[in-house]
Chains A and B, each alone.
Chain A
Amino acid sequence: MTTELAIRAQFLTKRYGATIAVAGIDLAIPRGGFFGLLGPNGAGKTSTIHMLSTLLRPTSGEAWVAGYAVNGQSLAVRGSIGVVFQDPALDRSLSAAENLRFAGRLNDLSRAEIHRRSTELLELFGLSEQRDVPVASLSGGMRRALDIARGVIHQPRILFLDEPTIGLDVPNRRAIWRHIARLRAELGMTVFLTTHYLEEAIDCDQVAFLSSGRVVREGPPRTLVEQLCRNILEVETDQPAQLAEQLEPRLGAALIEGESLQFRCDSDPVELGSLQAELASKAKAVRWRRPNLNDVFLWVNRPPASQKRRAA
């Protein structure tokens, strides 16, 4: 069974002293899959990637990557994967092409192979003109693109991307997603992604929400969004708790996020005008919108009503 899956984990756990970073997660990711591990900072995403890529030893549990056990077959695992860390794994003093050559040689590629693949990858990522430019002189977006090229120069079967778009502006984030889509289309590699920009994971085949080291919800992202509701009613107000109490009998459970009060609505929306008139004195704005993955995560992690009231 392990050979059919690109990644399998059973009760994978990581503790740092008394802190539990990853609290026994199970994973089953098929070959060629596009998997997103989602959650806020500190949820345990990076620790999970580091365990799967043999950089951290699991405290307990077991995982198989490309059919090899992370405990005991670490060289075979590292030979089958590419990892793009949150911080670039590049030598700032070397040029783009020299970095790719260094990474290629570390992965035991011949000079000819390295030359061919680095030319292709620089072309694919729009970096051909930056070939001989030192990494220190590249922009943040170019550096991230080069780092991804570095991670796939040896054509790994599985690519781990830890927050590939963190710290980038919107055009660069889009460019990075285009690169990843091309890599999947052209090389057919399995991609394991973490991100806390949840909306970016909508194209994944499968996502899992991680909270305090546990998987709290998983499934295909569009299905998760559809299952949440058809529409979200969002009320902007400085009295969210009061309004929640007033509207909950009619609109169902409320979610309070700062000054925003949200309801899930599956039926046809209540006439927006009448609600606006009703809330005129208390609400700054009332609007309907489509739910997204962010909403799924917020509703999964919604505090129980009693706590919510006290917090508000």
Chain B
Amino acid sequence: MIAAARPILAVLEREVIKLLRQRWRLLSSMVRPMLWLLVIGAGFAATQGRSGSGNYQTFLVPGVLGMTLLFGAMLAALSTVYDKESGVMRMLIIAPIERYCIAIAKALAAMLSALIQALMLLVLLSALGYVSSQLSIPLLVLGLLGTALVCASLGMLVAAWSRTLENYAGMMNLVIFPVFFLSGSLYPVHQLPLPLQIVASLNPYTYGVDLLRHASIAGPAAASAADFAMGRDLIVVIGFSAAALIVAGLRFSRDAVSEPLVHRLAQNR
């Protein structure tokens, strides 16, 4: 791992260069959560007949922050599938680094990409007055890192098993949306009907968002809306991510990943 420090940094650097060049991607990563917060948040609050939409929107702030991390990290991790099709994976597999380091490097790059987008959203949210002065910065950092880690690991797990970009488009609908909707991002888990409650409790992303709720981003009321104890959140986040990265790393280390790749590269001409 230590010998692979420079290659890992190279993968991170490439991710940042690419992210900053894709203005549309940055813009959409800001627009998507703001739409949820301002349009859907207000709409939901109205149908619930609450006096003032502030409560639901306050509840939604950690949810949309989580959403930015989820989309940012998953899309970056799933770009590994694109790398397999383009020349970049060829550069990675011929480099003198262990194959599992490629999975680790891509996961770290996905985390970094997601965190940059989340920090930009935080700046925007605070400019619009959605960030409370009572927020806990250590808990916020923990929540951001934990959620980014869960999403990047989940993304690498999916990327390790997908071969083509057609899968990649399908992954968006089959993975990202279900993970987002079947979590505590939009509604408190304990208020869901039992079957959905069970599904949401099995979703590791739920615990990442829950960690963000503990940070009282939009004020202490939001923290009290957390569904689980912080310790449980941390155990699930770390446990799931470690397991997912080990599995993805093993998958990358096996010939099965590079072999069909190089074989296909050799045949498609």
**Chain A residues engaging chain B, CB cutoff 8 angstroms:** 16, 41, 46-47, 50, 53, 55-57, 75-76, 78-79, 81, 83, 85-94, 98, 101-103, 105-109, 147, 150, 166
Contact = CB atoms under 8 A, between A and B. Distances in A.
A78 B96 contact: yes
Interface of B: 3, 6-7, 9-10, 13-14, 17-18, 21, 86-88, 90-98, 255, 258-259, 262-263, 265-266, 269
Contacts of B14: 91, 94, 98, 102
Chain B interface helix/strand/loop/mixed: helix
B96 A79 contact: yes
A91 B87 contact: yes
List the 10 shortest-distance A-B pairs measured between CB atoms, nearest first.
A105-B10, A89-B90, A79-B96, A106-B95, A78-B96, A89-B87, A46-B266, A89-B91, A106-B7, A90-B87
B97 A85 contact: no
29 contacts: A16-B263, A41-B269, A46-B266, A55-B93, A55-B94, A57-B259, A76-B96, A78-B94, A78-B95, A83-B94, A85-B265, A86-B265, A87-B87, A87-B265, A89-B90, A89-B91, A91-B14, A91-B88, A91-B91, A92-B87, A102-B14, A103-B91, A105-B6, A105-B13, A106-B6, A106-B7, A108-B3, A108-B96, A150-B91
Contact of A87 (B7, B9, B90): B90
A89 B14 CA distance: 15
A93 B18 contact: yes
B21 A93 contact: yes
A102 B265 contact: no
B87 A108 contact: no
B209 to A, nearest CB: 32
Contacts of A75: 96-98
Residue from A41, A50, A102, A150 whose CB has the most chain B CB atoms within 10 Å: A102
A40 to B, nearest CB: 13
Contact of B262 (A55, A109, A150): A55
Given A57-B259, A89-B88, 17 more contacts: A56-B255, A56-B259, A56-B263, A57-B255, A75-B96, A78-B96, A83-B94, A87-B90, A89-B94, A93-B21, A94-B18, A98-B14, A102-B13, A106-B7, A106-B10, A109-B6, A147-B87
Contact of B10 (A46, A47, A83, A102): A102
Contact of B258 (A41, A55, A92): A55
A92 B21 CA distance: 13
Contacts of A46: 266
A50 B10 contact: no
Contacts of A98: 14, 17
Nearest to A98: B17
Contact of B86 (A78, A79, A81, A91): A91
Contacts of A108: 3, 6-7, 96
Contacts of A79: 96
B87 A56 contact: no
Contacts of A56: 255, 258-259, 262-263
B96 A102 contact: no
B57 to A, nearest CB: 37
Contacts of A86: 265-266, 269
A243 B95 CA distance: 56
A119 to B, nearest CB: 19
Contacts of B87: 85, 87-92, 147
A106 B3 contact: no
